[in-house]
Amino acid sequence: MSGQAIIWVAFGGALGAVARYATGLLLKTTSGFPWATLSVNIFGSLLMGVMIGWLSRQSTPNEALRLFLAVGILGGFTTFSTFSMDLFQLIEKRDMAAMALYLGGSLFGGVAAFILGFMALRAG
Binding site, annotated residues for Na(+): 75, 78
3-state helix, strand, coil in the chain (%, to 5): 80, 0, 20
Question: What CA–CA distance (Å, rounded) separates 119 from 124?
Answer: 8
Question: What CA–CA distance (Å, rounded) separates 116 from 124?
Answer: 12
Q: Give helix 96-123 / helix 35-56 axis angle, nearest 10°.
A: 20
Cβ-count burial 38-63 (b if 16+ within 10 Å, e if not): bbbbbbbbbbbbbbbbbbeeeeeeee
Binding-site sequence positions:
75, 78
Beta strands in the chain (DSSP E): none
